[in-house]
Copies of this chain bind each other. A is one copy, B any other.
Amino acid sequence: MKAIVTVMLKTGVLDPQGKAIGQALVGLGFSGVGEVRAGKVLEIELAETDPVAARAQAEEMARKLLANMVIESFRVEVA
């Protein structure tokens, strides 16, 4: 199965990369641009075939390696 782990900075944590992208979009002439938040996404191929077990494994990966739980949160999709 494929697990997609999306890691974002928690709400309230300053996101200078997102802010810079937002300013660049405005500079390019895009209007109506509000807050921009930048994060990372990991697509992980897993040998596990059970969706529940695959999700549990991906969540453990996120907690142990992929996300810094002090300042980041994550969500997992399994497909």
Contact = CB atoms under 8 A, between A and B. Distances in A.
Copies in the complex: 2
Interface in A17-46: 18, 21-22, 24-25, 28, 30-46
24 contacts: A18-B42, A18-B43, A21-B42, A21-B65, A21-B66, A22-B44, A24-B65, A25-B44, A25-B65, A30-B61, A32-B47, A32-B57, A33-B44, A33-B47, A34-B45, A35-B44, A35-B45, A36-B43, A37-B43, A38-B41, A39-B41, A39-B42, A40-B41, A41-B41
Interface of A: 6, 8, 18, 21-22, 24-25, 28, 30-48, 57, 60-61, 64-66
A47 B20 CA distance: 18
Contacts of A25: 44, 61, 65
